[in-house]
């Protein structure tokens, strides 16, 4: 009983847990799509937080290398579950928008909120610029790999759209394999061969006591994953009715709304550690999570789409590709000096808000999509 209470008090979002049964009941009984979406939207937030607690406790017993790999795998589990379900339903636009939105929310919103929260009461904060720029450089590689399919699509003649689509799919699948290899090398670099470069981040790791034993953590992890899958299934299934009722685009739902759900707990953690002047850890959470999505989750989804005969590719629309490039450049620019302040945080958040408004008015049927 004490461990249950400790889990409930482990994160500020657990007060939303009553939405879990409400969301499942709403989906099972076929309530209106907007109601089903909102209830399951709220339900996934505390589930993501508990998923993070269970993952952290298991990681502490596995050692640095295996623990880091586990955190890399389950750190964005909610986004992966939602995206897999959407992919299997053929909602390619939702999947692509969710991946792009998760990257943008991490490198702009989370990073900006961390700079702002930590800089309000301080003149300036410092962090390990070498580790930060390494993560940012990997993000630049990932961004470039997402731009190449768009460039290929733009240069090929549009008279034979089926042939062009097939070529883009082949390029995307080959690129996905290369990106997964690079991500494996990144894990080796960060957790084995060049650990010293990331010592500042490792030394700032949260020293909270464990709540769960390894076996308890595995049980909780499995249970929450099943519940998240149920809520995500209802969430994705209600999107079609939601966009018709609220007159918003699927792109906005996937790019802005879904990432807020999946990253809520992670966002809060980054802001809290920044307020405690642990900027290396805050940047590691923000940039590291964005890099995982770009170099691990997105390629995995492309390969899964290949297996399931779904046309999931790395070809994002031109507008989305330009925004991703600008965002990556901006985040790299503000961290390269190893210092941060509240104004830089406000700039990053402001850019994210501008992007949110842009995609709110951006139609799903814009030219250039697959």
Residue with the two structure tokens 């989305």: 320
Q: Could you report how far apart the first and last alpha carbons of the chain are, in Å?
A: 51
Phi and psi based region of residue 147 (left: phi greater than 0; alpha: psi -120 to 50; beta: remaining): alpha
Residue 369 lies in a domain: no
Copy the structure tokens of residue 260.
């807020």
DSSP 253: I
Q: Provide the residue-wise pLDDT of the chain in tens; the chain has 370 residues.
A: 667 677 766 667 778 889 999 999 999 999 999 999 999 999 988 888 888 778 777 777 765 545 555 665 666 778 888 899 999 988 898 899 889 998 999 899 999 999 999 999 888 998 888 778 888 888 888 888 888 888 888 888 776 778 888 999 999 999 999 999 998 898 888 777 877 776 655 555 555 667 778 888 888 888 888 998 999 899 988 988 998 888 888 889 888 888 887 777 677 778 888 888 888 888 888 888 888 889 989 999 999 999 999 999 998 888 888 899 899 889 888 888 888 999 999 999 999 999 999 999 888 766 444 4
Q: Per the domain annotation, does 368 fall within a domain?
A: no
Contact 54, 224 (CB under 8 A): yes
- Predicted pLDDT of residue 358: 92
List the structure tokens of 55. Answer: 């993952």
Tokens, residue 5: 């209470």
CATH number at residue 280: 1.20.1420.30
Task: Write the burial class of residue 368 (CB in 10 Å: 0-12 exposed, 13-18 middle, 19+ buried).
Answer: middle
- Is 370 domain-assigned? no
| CB distance 370 to 92 below 8 Å | yes
Domain count, the chain: 1
Q: Is 63 exposed, middle or buried (0-12, 13-18, 19+ CB in 10 A)?
A: exposed
* C-alpha distance from residue 73 to each of 52, 68, 102, 187 (Å): 11, 9, 15, 11
DSSP 208: P
250 neighbors 97 (Cβ within 8 angstroms): yes
Evaluate whether 236 touches 91 at the Cβ level (below 8 Å): yes
pLDDT of residue 250: 84
Query: pTM of the predicted model, to two decimals?
Result: 0.86
Residue 41 domain flag: yes
| Residue 126, H or E segment | strand 125-126
Residue 71 near residue 55 (C-beta atoms within 8 A): yes
pLDDT at 292: 86
Phi, psi of 124 (to 5 degrees): -160, 150
210 in any annotated domain: yes
SS3 42: helix
User: How many CB atoms are located within 10 Å of the residue 336 CB?
Assistant: 12
Domain annotation covers residue 367: no
What pLDDT score was predicted for residue 370?
43
The reported pLDDT for the residue numbered 63 is: 56
Within-domain flag for 54: yes
pLDDT given for residue 138 in this prediction = 85
Amino acid 175: pLDDT: 94
CB atoms within 10 A of CB 189: 15
- The answer to whether residue 287 sits within a structural domain is yes
Residue 294 structural domain? 2-361
């Amino acid at each position: 009983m004490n461990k249950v209470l400790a889990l409930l008090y482990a994160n500020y979002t657990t007060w939303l847990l009553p939405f879990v049964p409400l969301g499942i009941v709403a989906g099972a009984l076929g309530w209106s799509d907007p109601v089903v979406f909102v209830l399951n939207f709220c339900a996934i937030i505390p589930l993501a937080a508990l998923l993070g607690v269970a993952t952290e406790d298991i990681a502490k017993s596995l050692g640095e290398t295996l623990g880091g790999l586990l955190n890399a795998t389950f750190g964005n589990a909610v986004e992966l579950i939602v995206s897999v379900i959407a992919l299997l339903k053929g909602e390619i636009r939702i999947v692509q928008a969710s991946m792009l939105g998760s990257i943008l929310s991490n490198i702009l919103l989370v990073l900006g909120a961390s700079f702002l929260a930590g800089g309000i009461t301080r003149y300036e904060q410092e962090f390990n610029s070498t580790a930060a720029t390494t993560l940012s450089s990997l993000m630049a590689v990932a961004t470039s790999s997402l731009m190449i399919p768009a460039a290929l699509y733009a240069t090929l003649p549009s008279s034979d759209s089926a042939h062009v689509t097939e070529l883009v799919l082949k390029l995307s699948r080959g690129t996905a394999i290369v990106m997964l290899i690079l991500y494996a090398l990144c894990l080796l670099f960060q957790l084995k061969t060049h650990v010293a470069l990331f010592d500042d981040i490792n030394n700032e790791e949260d020293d909270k006591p464990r709540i769960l034993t390894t076996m308890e953590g595995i049980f909780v992890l499995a249970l929450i994953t099943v519940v998240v899958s149920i809520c995500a299934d209802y969430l994705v299934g209600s999107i079609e009715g939601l966009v018709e009722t609220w007159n918003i685009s699927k792109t906005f739902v996937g790019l802005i709304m879904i990432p807020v759900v999946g990253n809520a707990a992670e966002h809060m953690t980054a802001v809290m550690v920044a307020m405690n002047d642990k900027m290396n850890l805050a940047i590691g959470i923000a940039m590291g999570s964005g890099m995982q999505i770009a170099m691990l989750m997105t390629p995995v989804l492309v390969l899964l789409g290949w297996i399931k005969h779904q046309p999931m590719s790395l070809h994002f629309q031109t507008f989305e590709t330009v925004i991703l490039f600008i965002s990556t450049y901006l985040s790299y620019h503000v961290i390269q000096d190893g210092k941060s302040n509240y104004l830089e945080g406000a700039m990053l958040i402001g850019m994210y808000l501008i992007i949110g408004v842009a995609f709110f008015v951006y139609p799903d049927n814009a030219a250039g999509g697959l």
